[in-house]
Structure 1
């Protein structure tokens, strides 16, 4: 029997991640005054879980409504994100990758992230495609895992593990908007990075 997820003395009945936020709904039958609770789950700089904006009470329907309101806010944020990007929804797979050389580094290459490494609402080509700009995980057969990634669509940078990279993009098999973005990228002089990797 699986051990229930707990936040303090509250057993988590529902947990939904959407739009970069994790929302929790919990129940503590031993607390007679505030048995129902909803909160967000985040991580602090030390990587520890924290639970901000917790609201507790004795009325399940009221606490559930807060949980649902927060969920709806995140759904709207995701819808706005997609609308602003304005590109067709498409998921890239292995068929969009070219063969990688035995000793070929990922650094400087346009790569595709595995859909399963992304949250469900971001499993789309515009979030999957980006340049590997450095990190020990770029080398073939490297023990290091870090791959620093610059998203093709937005230019934003973040870190992934080498195992999150599906492969090197085959430029001939990409959506038209992505081919245009690649051309724009190739026309833009590279930024100088001082003292390590940008995020």
Structure 2
């Protein structure tokens, strides 16, 4: 069976390199006589995990398109380098033996879990991207037929969609980094219900 072509609009995806939180895409449409080459970004971080193309520009010349393609790649690399430079704590990757397994009946909502290293892109295989706070999704419920799990990274608060099988386990308490304990305490304090004001207290 012939593999379905990946398309960005009318352009067949010729090159797609994942870098950071996006893919940089080069597309070709041989029927387009004016601008047969397309360069754009693609992201799958949405409710359904489908391709979303944006920032598209068409080009008449292949080499010019490739120059733009490599320029976008370089921009993404520089953004990642800048991001890494702001992290002062060591972030060694979390390994399977540092985790307790997730059982099928475990409810993940409101808990800290660890993503599998092989699910993350190589540039994100560090603890700050592995530790996530689960906020919802059908896959977060125990014994659910759903797979989708929505969560925020504990370190940065960035929101992502995962599948339940992308999660490695619960981090064992003895392996919890200091920064993670501080972030968790901060998050729990923010979500704690405010105490009711005593009756008659001045406003």
Q: Go from structure 1 to structure 2 and tell me whether the alpha carbon gap of 1:113 and 1:35 turns closer, same or farther (over 3 Å shift).
A: same
| Mapping of residues 182-197 of structure 1, within 5 Å | 182-183=181-182, 185-186=184-185, 189-192=189-192
Task: Give the alignment's Cα RMSD to 1 decimal.
Answer: 3.2
CA contact (8 A) 1:106 1:168 kept: no
CA contact (8 A) 2:107 2:142 kept: yes
CA distance in 2, matches of 1:170, 1:46: 30
TM-score (norm 1): 0.75
Would you identify which runs of 4 or more consecutive aligned residues in structure 1 move more than 6 Å? 43-46
Q: Go from structure 1 to structure 2 and tell me whether the alpha carbon gap of 1:28 and 1:173 turns closer, same or farther (over 3 Å shift).
A: same
CA distance in 2, matches of 1:16, 1:97: 31
Equivalent pairs counted in the alignment come to: 190
Q: 144-153 vs 69-78, which deviates more?
A: 144-153
How far apart are 1:148 and its partner, in Å?
A: 4.1
Structure 2 stretches lacking a partner, 5+ long: 194-203
TM-score (norm 2): 0.74
- Report the equivalent of 2:11: 10
CA distance in 2, matches of 1:106, 1:131: 9
CA contact (8 A) 1:152 1:182 kept: no
Structure 1 stretches lacking a partner, 5+ long: 194-199
